Amino acid sequence: MRPAFYANRFDGRAVTVTGAAQGIGLAVATRLADEGASVVLVDRAELVHDVAKVLREKGAEAHSITADLEQFTDAQDAIDEARAQHGRIDVLINNVGGTIWAKPYEHYTPEQIAAEVQRSLFPTLWTCRAALPHLIAQRSGTIVNVSSVATRGVNRVPYAAAKGGVNALTASLALEAAQYGIRVVATAPGGTEAPARRVPRGPDTESEQEKAWYQQIVDQTVDSSLLRRYGTLDEQAAAILFLASDEASYITGSVLPVAGGDLG
């Protein structure tokens, strides 16, 4: 069942969500639209335009942008376009990232290690950097980064390192930005049930060995959760929207685990 939420918490707010074409990002963007936000959806997949169209058909104000946020120039252009839509960015939700390969560290190539960090750390670094001057100028704003409890997890060391970087970015940027009235926070999702991805994470079909390695991730994720289950997209979105809202106005620099008791 979908958790109850407060209607209209985001009335009049301009919110940008990255990685909004599917998964957690899609759930967050949809929920924000339900709560009155004007939403800008950013994703590298053209699918994001279909998502925005559906939201508009439901009566929401939604704009979509395609961008490769692993590149700073794309991130800067996307943030500038998002700001131009409403003249401000009240909330930035950084959701881009995700494991590309799942295997013990000794089996990663140097190129794969670099690609994992590029995917799960740099989009958040770049969008924070691109948005910060706008937020400083308006002397307000909230950044919610989506990290992971997989900073302590098997078969994805490069991804864990990248998400550890997101945690450090959150804490350090919160220190710098507080003087301008800007909050910087993060959630750390655990395993989350979601529909099959319409855009695959990796370039190749999984081998039987890779499927077995991924099953080890699933087993460890469930074992580490006190609730012994995966979470839902709505449970992840609820935590993100709470941190993005005025209800969390005295919270900054914190990373909230949303993983059934697994603290990562």
Catalytic center residues: 159
Dihedral through CA 247, CA 253, CA 257, CA 263, nearest 10?
A: -140
Distance of CA 86 to the CA centre of its chain: 22
Find tokens 């003087």 and name the residue: 179
25, 17 Cβ separation under 8 angstroms: yes
Alpha helices in 66-156 (DSSP H): 72-86, 110-120, 122-138
21, 66 Cβ separation under 8 angstroms: no
Angle at 184 between CA 178 and CA 185, to 5 degrees: 140
